Amino acid sequence: MTSDTSPQKLARRFPDSFLFGVATASYQIEGAATADGRKPSIWDAFSHMPGRVKGGDTGDEACDHYNRLEADLDLMAGLGAEAYRFSIAWPRILPDGTGAINEKGFDFYDRLLDGLKARGIKAFATLYHWDLPLALMGRGGWTDRATADAFANYAGIVTRRLGDRLDTVVSFNEPWCSVYLGHLMGVHAPGERSMPAAMAALHVTNLAHGLGVQAIRAERPELPVGIVLNAMSVMAATDSDADRKAAERANDFHNGVFFGPLFKGAYPHSVLEGCPDLVGHIKAGDLETIKQPLDFWGLNYYTPMRVPDDASSEFPKVATAPAVKPEKTDIGWEIEPLGLSHVVKDLYGRYTLPEFYITENGAADNTEVENGAVSDTMRLDYIAAHLSVAADLVAENYPLKGYFAWSLMDNFEWAEGYSQRFGIVHVDYQTQTRTIKQSGYWYQSLIAAHKAVKT
């Protein structure tokens, strides 16, 4: 680790108001999949299908966070986390997606929010982190326009009940994943591989976001509202004209289909021309509904997307080039911290955007416990290098307000099951023992140094 990324020196590069937090998601950590009235989500169904998740893993128990809430809150407080980004499980609140409210589900989030407030930790809630109630999937899920209305209803109910203790709320986490990985590539729930389904899910999700923001603001107009997007840091594989044009098409397909409607009120022309399935779903007034003013947005960044021209690739399928740098995380993703500044500068050059947070950033480092400690030096260096880039962005006057490490603890990593560890805290899934990793202690030192600078 170079000297300029030591916790003390790095801390001084961030303004006093900058927030350092940690992030998780409901299905990845809560477990208790059938407890207290919770009904299945699409991920419960998907993970129980043979061959869908590595090792046959499921989120049935995960990190047992539902039953270990107080200890996990103490863990967070011990790390010095100033904010906690978590998601609310729709199937706990409305087990059938609509209809009867499950008060026992709300009881859990009451305890979570009260516990955060008691420890002085800000609450950053996500309404949808991929665990759609299975009952709604029976009616078409995100391909069914009625799901947008169901989401707005859910958003209003949650805001009414919990909004008094939330510091921010976001509608969706990474809709790129739930739309494309879930409906086009088939590797996430619900496991479809259909362009028509993907285009339907794309528009219904965008519409649900707009309706959800309206529902939140109707209940609590003062509550800051946003969305979290895993915007792709799209880089042309070479400087050739063909590769640059391919990268622009990729940008439209991967980023523009979300940023365009949300911040410009329009889908990219190239996608409308290349995907006639999308056009048929857009009704009068939809784009006005989608383009709601937002107080902030969240960026999740891990690795760049390098794009070559590929004549054999039918639009909108876009080929990706091999990594340029040899350094990779244990999941195989190229380590390129400058991809973070690339995507931020590109997006602020294309769109009029509000302030933002880095809502996820981290590395799969599968180093295990040895003699009671976890020496995850690769993850530590990854986080330090990306935070250094974040500090550069702040110095260049980009409106970056905070950073959330992904993730607080090792957890169920979707299609990868428990094979990939992203946590700054190690979880032994047999005993549920938590062990703070070297990266966790480093992050703790950074936060402490930043607090010391403020005083």
222 phi and psi, to 5 degrees?
-85, -10
Q: Is the dihedral of CA 299, 300, 304, 310 positive or negative?
A: negative
What is the C-alpha separation between 351 and 235, in angstroms, rounded? 18
Alpha helices of 264-410 — where are they, by DSSP H? 269-274, 276-279, 286-290, 338-350, 377-395
Q: Can you tell me whether residue 437 is helix, strand or coil?
A: coil
Instruction: Take residue 116 and report the two structure tokens written for it.
Output: 């955060």
* Chain centre to alpha carbon of residue 187: 17
* CB-CB neighbours of 57 under 10 Å: 19
306 phi and psi, to 5 degrees?
-100, 130
The residue count for the chain: 455
Instruction: Take residue 333 and report the two structure tokens written for it.
Output: 């993703």
Alpha helices of 119-223 — where are they, by DSSP H? 134-137, 146-162, 175-176, 182-183, 195-219
Let me know if 360 is a catalytic residue. Answer: yes
What is the C-alpha separation between 238 and 248, in angstroms, rounded? 13
Q: Of the residues 192, 334, 336, 360, which is catalytic?
A: 360
Fill in the amino acid letter for 105: G
Element (H, E) at 78: helix 69-79
Residue 403 burial by Cβ neighbours in a 10 Å radius (0-12, 13-18, 19+): buried
Q: Of the residues 30, 174, 192, 334, which is catalytic?
A: 174
What is the C-alpha separation between 116 and 152, in angstroms, rounded? 26
Contact 195, 266 (CB under 8 A): no
What is the C-alpha separation between 210 and 144, in angstroms, rounded? 16
Let me know if 174 is a catalytic residue. Answer: yes
Q: Is the dihedral of CA 431, 22, 330, 9 positive or negative?
A: negative
Q: Which sequence positions are flagged as catalytic?
A: 174, 360
